[in-house]
Amino acid sequence: MKIYLDVCAIQRPLDTPDQIRIVLEAEAVLGILALCEAGQVELVSSDALAYEVERNPLPVRKEHGRAVLSMAKDHVVLSNEIKKRAEQLTALGIAPLDALHLAFAEAANAVYFCTCDNRLLRKANHIADLRVKAVSPIDLVQEIEQ
């Protein structure tokens, strides 16, 4: 099963654990990454993820992002089809970079798109023709374990 973690999910284990939600999501992401390492789920990378990780000014976060992306079995390269789909998603109210991530996840035939961004989750889950299921890290762990 292919999964696409956006950058906020990838970076969640490094966030300050000052809320229960952050602690739970961080543990969920670490569990998902362990499943990737064990070969039970397949992580997808993309040009957008690589771009966003490389733009991080904090060396620890950049290295963590690189390490996570290095576990990916599939890397999706930007294409005109992905650009067009991202434009369609942007027209539906999704922020441009988020739309690009969703379009990459669809292009990779990912089953799940995982994010810690509640606003993005709400918007994505209202898109009738979205070809990937948008979930939080906690929801993703629950889905995988069923």
End-to-end CA distance of the chain: 13
Total-model pTM: 0.95
Which DSSP symbol is given to 116?
A: S
- The residue ranges of every structural domain in the chain are 2-144
Within 8 A by CB and 6+ apart from 122, the residues are none
Residue 139: its pLDDT value, please? 96
The total of other beta-carbon atoms located within 10 Å of residue 42's CB is 17
Domain 2-144 is found in CATH 3.40.50.1010:
yes
Tens digit of pLDDT for each residue in 59-90? 999 999 999 999 999 999 999 999 999 999 99
**Distance separating alpha carbons of residues 89 and 73, to the nearest angstrom:** 26
Nearest to 113 by CA among 76, 84, 87, 146: 76
Share of the chain above pLDDT 70, in %: 100
Which stretches does DSSP call E strand in the chain?
2-5, 42-46, 74-76, 112-114, 133-135
Share of the chain above pLDDT 90, in %: 97
Tokens of 30: 């670490």
Q: Where are the alpha helices (DSSP H) in 7-46?
A: 7-11, 20-37
